[in-house]
Amino acid sequence: MIASIKLDNFTVFGSETIEFSDGMNLIAGENGTGKSHLLKVAYAAFEATWRTYRQASLLNTASTAISKAGDEASTAYSVSPSREALQKALAEKLDGVFKPESIGRLCGKGRGRQSSTVSVFFKKSATPVTFSFATNSKSSVGLSTIPEEMESSGPVFIPTREVLTLYPEIISLIKRSTIQIDETYFDLAVDLAGPLSKGPRLKEVAEFVGPLEEAMKGKIRVEGSRFYLVSEGKGRMEMPLVAEGVRKLAMIAYLLLNGSLGSRSTIFWDEPETNLNPKLLKEVARSLVALSEHGIQIIAATHSHFFMKEVEIQRSRQKAGKDIRFINLFFGEDDHVYQESGAALSDLDHIAALDEILSQDDRDQALFYETV
User: How would residue 284 be classed by pLDDT, with cut points 50, 70 and 90?
Assistant: confident
Determine the average pLDDT of the residues in 68-83: 65
pLDDT band at 70 (very low <50, low <70, confident <90, very high): very low
* Poorest-pLDDT segment among 22-26, 106-110, 190-194, 354-358: 354-358
Confidence of residue 320 (pLDDT cuts 50, 70, 90): low
Assign 358 a pLDDT band (cuts: 50, 70, 90). Answer: low
Question: pLDDT value at position 175?
Answer: 67
So what's the pLDDT on residue 290?
87
Mean pLDDT of 19-26: 94
Domain range list for the chain: 1-62+73-153+263-371, 161-261
Q: Give the pLDDT score at 353.
A: 60
Whether residue 84 is predicted with pLDDT greater than 50 in this model: the reply is yes
- The pLDDT assigned to 109 comes to 78
Share above pLDDT 90 across residues of the chain, in percent, rounded to a whole number = 37
Range with the lowest mean pLDDT among 34-43, 124-133, 196-205, 320-329? 196-205
**For the chain, what is the mean pLDDT?**
84
* Stronger pLDDT, 253 or 318, i.e. the higher one: 253
pLDDT tens for each residue of 166-195:
877 777 776 666 667 788 988 998 898 877
CATH H-level, domain 1-62+73-153+263-371: superfamily: P-loop containing nucleotide triphosphate hydrolases (3.40.50.300)
Helix/strand/coil (H, E, C) string of the chain?
CEEEEEEECECCECEEEEECCCCEEEEEECCCCCHHHHHHHHHHHHHHHHHHHHHHHHHHCCCCCCCCCCECCECEECCCCCHHHHHHHHHHHHHHHHCCCCHHHHECCCCCCCEEEEEEEECCCCCCEEEEEECCCCCCCEEEECCCCEECCCEEEECCCCCCCCHHHHHHHHHHCCCCCCHHHHHHHHHHCCCCCCCHHHHHCHHHHHHHHHHHCCEEEEECCEEEEEECCCEEEEHHHCCHHHHHHHHHHHHHHCCCCCCCCEEEEECCCCCCCHHHHHHHHHHHHHHHHCCCEEEEECCCHHHHHHHHHHHHCCCCCCCEEEEEEEECCCCCEEEEEECCHHHCCCCHHHHHHHHHHHHHHHHHHHHC
Q: What is the mean pLDDT of residues 101-105?
A: 94
